[in-house]
Amino acid sequence: MAPVRLDKPAGQWHTQPAQAPRTAEAAGGGPLRTAGSSAVQQERRSRRPLVLFLVFVLVMVVALGLYRMARDAPAGAGDGDTTSPAEATVAAAGLQFDAVIDGDAVQMTEATQLADPGVAAAELRVPQLTGLSGAAGSARLEVTDLVVSLDGQQVEPTQDPAVPGVWQVTRSDGAPFRQMQVAYRLSGAVVASPLSAEGRMLAVLGPLSPPVPDLPTLATVRGAGVLNVFCPGVAADALLCATQNGDAWDAEMAGSDPGGRILLVQIDRG
* Average pLDDT score over residue span 207-220: 91
* Average pLDDT score over residue span 12-40: 42
> What pLDDT band is residue 35 in, cutting at 50, 70 and 90?
very low
Instruction: Report the chain's mean pLDDT, rounded to a whole number.
Output: 75
> Dihedral, CA atoms, 127, 254, 227, 195, nearest 10 degrees?
60
> Is the pLDDT reported for residue 87 higher than 50?
no
pLDDT for the residue 175: 96
DSSP state of 18: P
Q: Quick check: pTM over 0.75?
A: no
pLDDT for the residue 66: 52
In one-letter notation, the amino acid at residue 93 is: A
> What pLDDT band is residue 34 in, cutting at 50, 70 and 90?
very low
Contact 265, 239 (CB under 8 A): no
**Which of 221, 196, 218 is CA-nearest to residue 209?**
218
Q: Higher pLDDT residue, 16 or 103?
A: 103
> Is the pLDDT reported for residue 243 higher than 80?
yes
The span from the CA of 109 to the CA of 97, in Å, is 6
Q: Going from the N-terminus, what domains does the chain have, and what CATH number goes with each?
A: 89-268 (2.60.40.3650)
* Average pLDDT score over residue span 241-248: 92
**Which of 131, 146, 148 is CA-nearest to residue 233?**
131
